Structure 1
């Protein structure tokens, strides 16, 4: 049985932001290593969750995939085509197939444009005239995302945060994409509204077969939405596995620490003993300007040894793990008995 070709394949993806200094600030003195050598795939109809602390490079990764940022190194392959450094003209055939839902529904919508103009904009830019016209299609999209078609002539300030994010979803759907990068699409919303938006995205995925790169820091939401989960720390993926395997048997100490911090999300009936088993990481996340040598998590890891400082652990499958479960650690957690 042959393995299906991934819709999106990322290899060695790296993004460094130069830090300029000296006088008159024209000399490159350092680099912010925002993303450093990522490898992952997303298949058709699949949702890959990307989790980690703030500043670990999740949003930068999303912008690299959509080519809003130019990679420093590495390869991005979409539907068999290398788009890593494709020009605007070369990107044109696939630009409509990769869309993005932004984190902040308040700043991602133009306050001077009506909902009809915002959602219909991508069709107008790409010269798409659907059957019945653009206005009819926009009204259909509004209905699909749970809004009234009568909202066509309203402005963003007339909507709540949850409704604005639905407008953003409708805009992302306008060009019938195959891949959507959702950059923390519910983190700016009230908790009572988050589940509604996540359920909407799940329904769209089932109905339209859209693939998702779902970026979030809420592990409970990622568990609910994603088929596989990748855990990032300081610009690198430290563990990637299917949802059940990662949440029930985390092998990287950082993943274990993240999960232990939210027992109510992973184990709803956690007792007092489980509550006391939380792992409290000491110290701050190191600066991406000068990341630690070897394993980047070693400065906060209770298992770190000299080997962790000298040898960077590769992201590999452990002999007692599932084939799809990859971990980057010299001293991984023991699997459950």
Structure 2
């Protein structure tokens, strides 16, 4: 039986489930569609909806995670936030300033404040340049002249990320993958950023090296007060590093919650499926989560399903899911999670059937 859609409080605004302080980064309705060419005449034959109406915020010094399957739009979102890609729609505000469509000249003063750690430590470093040149380059481009000169500062950064300062003149091919990623982190830190977009910074590394790099980032966040947008598909890594987490599916954010709530009591069926695949992950009652196996293939972002994009693989889908797209709403008073589902509920077989009513922010929870 299809239950009626309850009156819901919109949670797509950047303040939703965010810290009370003014956010350093505010993303609202962010969209990126890549056009698909149509043969010899190069007419537009459609678009890949890589990111569609994504909203979240990140406070100063906060670590915010973006998780989901490969192809869900995580990395594209990160590149949009760093303004390495031009958005198709929505707004990006950094420190209260709208940078959505800022020109290269307007972005120049902000480049030193927003840095990126790229996923591949092998292709993100120029093999023809020495480590000293790679790390000092951003400082020279941004007109930063540190006390003691660039060489001294580079050696200090190498020591901060756990590398030998005497390796200043070595080339990238002389380092391992984990060491190269540390060089990429040192390059990002060279301009003393306030926000770092870490795009799957440990996915290409061995497990033991992953732990070292994640712990390094955590120390840097604590010591330097850097805010992180941490992109990953490994939920165990995200749990260790991030304070709040947004789950993405096929270009959409389906759930946003603080770490404790998301991992112990997920509300969206897709979040439940992701967590059930994490070895050793347990629910709020301490019991091992039952494995949820999603049926069907991941739909194409060029032709997403009507209504809820997850409905073709969702065990809870009903007719309304195909007819209406569920908005991202807050399920109670803050810090309750924001969920985009017509039938959000904890994965508890004893829970009452039917949709959970949402209440406006600041109201008493039902």
CA RMSD of aligned residues (A): 1.6
Correspondences of 1:104-183 after superposition (within 5 Å): 104-183=120-199
Aligned residues: 330
- Secondary structure of the corresponding residue to residue 215 of structure 2: helix
- Deviation at residue 302 of structure 1 after TM alignment: 0.6
Among candidates 225, 230, 235, match of residue 214 of structure 1: 230
Q: Does 1:14 align with 2:28?
A: no
- Give the structure-2-normalised TM-score: 0.87
Residues in 1 aligned to 2:347 and 2:330: alpha-carbon distance in whole angstroms: 13
Residues in 1 aligned to 2:118 and 2:279: alpha-carbon distance in whole angstroms: 28
Residue in structure 2 matched with residue 332 of structure 1 by the alignment: 344
- Deviation at residue 264 of structure 1 after TM alignment: 1.5
Residue in structure 2 matched with residue 301 of structure 1 by the alignment: 314
- Deviation at residue 261 of structure 1 after TM alignment: 1.1
Deviations 1:53-100 (A, max 9, x none): 000000000000111100000000000000000001111121110000
Residues in 2 aligned to 1:294 and 1:6: alpha-carbon distance in whole angstroms: 31
User: Structure 2: any 5+ residue segments left out of the alignment?
Assistant: 1-18, 352-366
Residues in 2 aligned to 1:30 and 1:249: alpha-carbon distance in whole angstroms: 38
- Secondary structure of the corresponding residue to residue 47 of structure 2: strand
- Give the structure-1-normalised TM-score: 0.95
CA contact (8 A) 1:186 1:194 kept: yes
- Deviation at residue 23 of structure 1 after TM alignment: 2.0
Residues in 1 aligned to 2:334 and 2:21: alpha-carbon distance in whole angstroms: 19
Among candidates 67, 85, 103, match of residue 87 of structure 1: 103
Residues in 2 aligned to 1:95 and 1:159: alpha-carbon distance in whole angstroms: 27
Deviations 1:163-187 (A, max 9, x none): 0000000000000000000000000
- Secondary structure of the corresponding residue to residue 280 of structure 2: helix
Residues in 2 aligned to 1:99 and 1:122: alpha-carbon distance in whole angstroms: 10
Among candidates 294, 298, 323, match of residue 281 of structure 1: 294
Deviations 1:187-239 (A, max 9, x none): 00001110000000000000000000000000000000000000000000000
Deviations 1:107-137 (A, max 9, x none): 0000000000000010111121111111110
User: Structure 1: any 5+ residue segments left out of the alignment?
Assistant: none
Residues in 2 aligned to 1:9 and 1:98: alpha-carbon distance in whole angstroms: 13
Residues in 1 aligned to 2:331 and 2:336: alpha-carbon distance in whole angstroms: 10
- Deviation at residue 288 of structure 1 after TM alignment: 0.2
- Deviation at residue 324 of structure 1 after TM alignment: 4.2
Residues in 2 aligned to 1:125 and 1:323: alpha-carbon distance in whole angstroms: 42
If each structure's helix is expressed as a fraction of its own residues, which one has the higher value? 1
CA contact (8 A) 2:163 2:179 kept: yes
CA contact (8 A) 2:272 2:347 kept: no
